[in-house]
Amino acid sequence: MSIDLSQFIPSFLEESFEGLELMESSLLTLQQGDDDSINAIFRAAHSIKGGAGTFGFNHVTEFTHLVETLLDEMRNGQRNIVQPEVELLLVSVDCLRFLIKAIRDEEPCENSKIAETAKLLEFALQKQEIEAAVTTNHEITSDNSQAFSTWLITFIPEPHLVQTGNDPLLLFNALAELGEVSLEADCKELPSLLGLDAETLHLTWTLSLKTSVNEDEIKEVFEWVEDECQLSITQQKSDSAENKLVSSPLVEEAVKAPQIKAVPSPVVVNSPEKSTQKSKSETGSIRVGVDKVDSLINLVGELVITQSMLSELGNDFEMSKLTRLTNGLEQLLQNTKELQESVMRIRMLPISFVFNRFPRLVHDLSKKTDKEVTLVINGEQTELDKTVMEQIGDPLVHLVRNAVDHGIESKETRIANGKSEVGTITLAAYHQGGNVVIEINDDGGGIDRQAVFDKAVEKGLVDTSNTLNESQVFDLIFEPGFSTAKELSDISGRGVGMDVVKKNIQSLGGRIQVQSEQGKGSQFKVYLPLTLAILDGQLVKVGREVYIIPLITIVESLQVKEQLINRVSGDMVLYRLREDNVPIIPIYQLFDIPADNKELSNALLVVVEADGQKVGLMVDDLLAQQQVVVKSLNDNYQQVEGISGATILGDGSVAMILDVPGMITMALKRAQRQQSNEKASKKKIETEVLA
């Protein structure tokens, strides 16, 4: 029977990633004398080595063996825990991560760094240790080329052999698997019935085995008991000397090693182990806590009850049952809502999965930049959607890198400014409204507002005449190709970062905001939706089209009052909303569709906010508010400007979901183009006139 174990490999890989994480976080804080930690680190490495060996990943086994040996010496007290070696171990963890990833992604695992690190490990171990850690299996091969031979085996066990759990009869069975066995028991030492002790062996045996296997394999059968017996295995010269030894029934009885069994107790149903939700790999799997599954099961149960109740009502419906029907539907709504929430929670995982890579990152970065930086993490239990989490990692890394590289000043500068030598970066996550908010704060030098403005002018992004408020200036750093770093540092500052960060965050349906105070520090806030899949939306009508505006972006809706409309510099129309002047975007114009009402004077305005800016969207009618399931247009079509997705309404028709920031950008671009067109045509007229 050949058993296929490849189904367990993904589980092993996942486990290994977890083990590596544990190793890394423990190594970062490891101190001499910290026994628990060093043992935990050792065990993690040991498990990875064992598993890798079982599944045949020899390169991993070999590498891990070096790591494990080093760790073993540390935990035994043979070796002191010193920083350079901890650093080496950290690098080794990286190497292992690479190797495991390579296995998971089926990519080549050759890497000079790994070979280098392995050499360093060997050097650290300072001995000629490196035999392959894989102990060879004793394969029971039947070598057909070898002729059969007969072996005479005498087996004289010590009387207490059975107390180790070994059973001679079973050993003989195992022997019988190797060939033909006949045996004879020696009952000389057998006491009388009264003297029989159930826990001791009173017999010895002589066996004859005809087999084609070699002596080592015969010995192997007895390997567990070799210290508790006298064993001799001799090969018989002649093949024909078969001792047909017959064992008598009396002997067989006594041979059975008595196993004292207690009265079988009823099998206890163990409380379900809470498997923690850990899913670091980007495979399509997720581990869910049993409590979430149970809650789902309960809710589905309730749904089933409601359904059968409604079904019954529907059978002989009469108007008199109307109230019950409405109640039933209300109940159905409730059940569906709860079920939906419950299901969504399954995709939610604590943000710690993303945050846990940062201690290491900050540690490495601070060494690289020769700065002292501590990282404070808050709210790592805040949950967010798995997909969002997988994609928010890279942008966050960039922001943290930024903070270390550009935010935190050098030690000298900090001291000169009366700050502590050690800079602090705070990573925080919390829920607010319908969002997850992630903050990256640093107590560094802040963003130089003037430098940003100047650079923007230099790049032609803004006019010198443009008056921008503070947050708008800071928003400029998200423009493509923008970087004020005087030298392009290796870490960041290549100018390809921030705009990609913003784009990534927006593609997740989120937004990013920055605040900064010169000399004090900067604060980046990333807002992300709790879930990508479902959205609370306001349905609006423009002409014949129905659009959905994300409720979270809506500030208010109002009927336009003519006197509050102001036209400014050409086509821009502003609406006075208390103290703000809010630009109006006529959707029909932006989307080039017919509308019922093109007159601004009695239009309906939905004031929305995005990227710190308010605009008023002009619509024909306000329809219902409802929760919609977001479907991407990208699957079968492509990204559409101004549209973040589509949904299927209750009547089966498709409605587009508006991407407010995108629409603002569209409107801006259009206005700018219009402006430059006007300028150009003006110029043309002027030159024509002159001619």
Partner 1 sequence: MSKILVVDDSNSIRDMVSFTLKSAGYETVEAKDGQDGLAKAKTNNFDLVISDVNMPIMDGIALCGELRKLAPFKFTPILMLTTESSTDMKMRGKSAGATGWLVKPFNPEKLLATIKRVIR
Partner 2 sequence: MNIQSLVDEVPVEGEYSMEGIDFISSGEQFLTFLLAQEQYAVNILCVEEIRSWENPTKIPNAPHYVKGVINMRGIIVPIIDLRLKFDIGEAIYCETTVVVVLTVVNDDKSRTIGFVVDAVSDVLNAEENEIKKAPAFGGCVPQEYIAGLVNVAENVVTVLNVVALQTIEAHQLD
The catalytic residue positions are 46, 68, 402
How many degrees, rounded to 5, is the angle at CA 539 between CA 534 and CA 544?
A: 130
Cβ-based neighbours of 431, under 8 Å, separated by 6 or more:
382, 437, 530
Cβ-based neighbours of 158, under 8 Å, separated by 6 or more:
201, 228, 229
* C-beta closer to partner 2: residue 529 or 645: 645
Q: Which of 50, 159, 434, 495 binds partner 1 (CB under 8 A)?
A: 50
Write out the E strands in 399-446: 422-432, 435-442
The DSSP bridge partners found for residue 607 are: 556, 616
Is 60 in contact with 96 (CB distance < 8 Å)? yes
As given in the structure block, the two tokens for residue 289 are 């806590």
* C-beta closer to partner 2: residue 451 or 648: 648
- CA distance to 84, 108, 272, 383, 597, per residue, from 294 (Å): 48, 42, 11, 19, 52
74 binds partner 1 (CB under 8 A): no
- Minimum Å gap between C-beta 633 and partner 2 is 6
Residue 82: φ, ψ to 5°: -120, 155
As given in the structure block, the two tokens for residue 449 are 């507002």
- Minimum Å gap between C-beta 233 and partner 1 is 16
Is 476 in contact with 460 (CB distance < 8 Å)? no
Cβ-based neighbours of 179, under 8 Å, separated by 6 or more:
148, 209, 210, 211, 212, 213
| Residue 59, burial from CB neighbour count under 10 angstroms (0-12, 13-18, 19+) | middle
- Minimum Å gap between C-beta 223 and partner 1 is 7
- Minimum Å gap between C-beta 174 and partner 1 is 4
219 binds partner 1 (CB under 8 A): no
Name which of partner 2, partner 1, none residue 652 binds, using a CB cut-off of 5 to 8 Å depending on partner kind.
Answer: partner 2
- Minimum Å gap between C-beta 132 and partner 1 is 11
Name which of partner 1, partner 2, none residue 174 binds, using a CB cut-off of 5 to 8 Å depending on partner kind.
Answer: partner 1
96 binds partner 1 (CB under 8 A): no
* C-beta closer to partner 1: residue 139 or 651: 139
Name which of partner 1, partner 2, none residue 11 binds, using a CB cut-off of 5 to 8 Å depending on partner kind.
Answer: partner 1
Write out the E strands in 530-680: 534-542, 545-550, 554-559, 565-568, 572-577, 580-586, 604-610, 613-619, 621-629, 643-648, 654-658
- Minimum Å gap between C-beta 151 and partner 1 is 18
Please work out the total of residues on this chain that contact partner 1, with binding judged by CB under 8 A.
Answer: 58
77 binds partner 1 (CB under 8 A): no
139 binds partner 1 (CB under 8 A): yes
Is 575 in contact with 616 (CB distance < 8 Å)? yes
Cβ-based neighbours of 656, under 8 Å, separated by 6 or more:
545, 547, 548, 640, 643, 645, 646
Q: Which of 115, 132, 140, 297 binds partner 1 (CB under 8 A)?
A: 140
- Minimum Å gap between C-beta 640 and partner 2 is 6
Is 613 in contact with 660 (CB distance < 8 Å)? no
- Distance from chain centroid for Cα 27: 21
Name which of partner 2, partner 1, none residue 430 binds, using a CB cut-off of 5 to 8 Å depending on partner kind.
Answer: none
Please name the residue ranges forming H helices in 283-370: 290-315, 322-346, 352-355, 358-369
* C-beta closer to partner 1: residue 68 or 85: 68
User: Site map for partner 1, 163-202, x if CB under 8 A?
Assistant: xxxxx--xx-xx--x---------------------x---
Name which of partner 1, partner 2, none residue 248 binds, using a CB cut-off of 5 to 8 Å depending on partner kind.
Answer: none
- Minimum Å gap between C-beta 332 and partner 2 is 20
User: Site map for partner 1, 14-43, x if CB under 8 A?
Assistant: -x-----------------------xx-xx
Q: Mark 597-627 as b/e (b = at least 16 C-beta within 10 Å).
A: beebeebbbbbbbbbebbbbbbbbeebeeee
**384 vs 393: CA distance, rounded Å:** 12
Name which of partner 2, partner 1, none residue 5 binds, using a CB cut-off of 5 to 8 Å depending on partner kind.
Answer: partner 1
User: Site map for partner 1, 228-267, x if CB under 8 A?
Assistant: -----------------------------xxxxxx-xx-x
Name which of partner 2, partner 1, none residue 688 binds, using a CB cut-off of 5 to 8 Å depending on partner kind.
Answer: none
- Binding residues for partner 2, per CB under 8 A? 545, 590-593, 631-633, 635-643, 646, 648, 652-656
The DSSP bridge partners found for residue 235 are: 151
78 binds partner 1 (CB under 8 A): no
Residues that bind partner 1 (CB under 8 A): 1-3, 5, 8-9, 11-12, 15, 39-40, 42-43, 46-47, 49-51, 53-56, 61, 133-135, 137-140, 162-167, 170-171, 173-174, 177, 199, 221, 223-224, 227, 257-262, 264-265, 267-268, 270, 273
